[in-house]
Amino acid sequence: MSLRGKIFSGALISIAAFSIFLPASIAQHEKREPLTDAQIEEIREAGGGPADRIRRYTKFLDEKAEKIKALAKRGRSVNRTQALDGQRQDFTALMDELGSNLDQYSERKADLRRAMKPLVDSSAKWMGILRALAGEPGFDVSRKEAIESTDDISAEAARIQTEQEAYFETHTDEKGQERAEPK
């Protein structure tokens, strides 16, 4: 084969390899959406009802935690590692969204007490699932971030629950409110 033929052949192989790996590379850089379209619609339906939104986020996080737990039981493989990493990233993103909602609603003194107990209980369960996972090179960062987010939400939910019990003990006329501004 001539030099020109070898160069042409090498170029074709490079182009073929590039075309195979380019879509995978692009897919890795796409922004992940932690909620399905149905879940997003469910959040929208909850509207401005703080306790309902918190309960829905808690439910979706429970579902993600169960998926993580199920994936952890599967045999180690590249696909499992990628799926587990993705689920943990989604879990952390949902935790961040929940944290933003908690901040907003607690500042407005929305009555979140009914939603806080299930959140506090669930966050303890989530922490157990996340800590039970053995560290693996493919997802050590996402594992650490998920544990930190869960720890933050757990502490914040417990703090909000305590603050709200005290607040609504003295402001009985505001119990059950969703949007009142604090006095």
Helix ranges restricted to H, the chain: 3-28, 37-46, 50-73, 78-107, 113-132, 140-170
Tell me 158's DSSP state. Answer: H
Of the candidates 83, 61, 56, which has an alpha carbon nearest to the alpha carbon of residue 72?
83
Q: What is the pLDDT of residues 23-78, one digit of tens each?
A: 444 444 467 788 989 998 988 887 768 889 999 999 999 999 999 999 988 888 88
Q: What is the pLDDT of residues 5-32, one digit of tens each?
A: 556 555 445 454 444 444 444 444 467 7
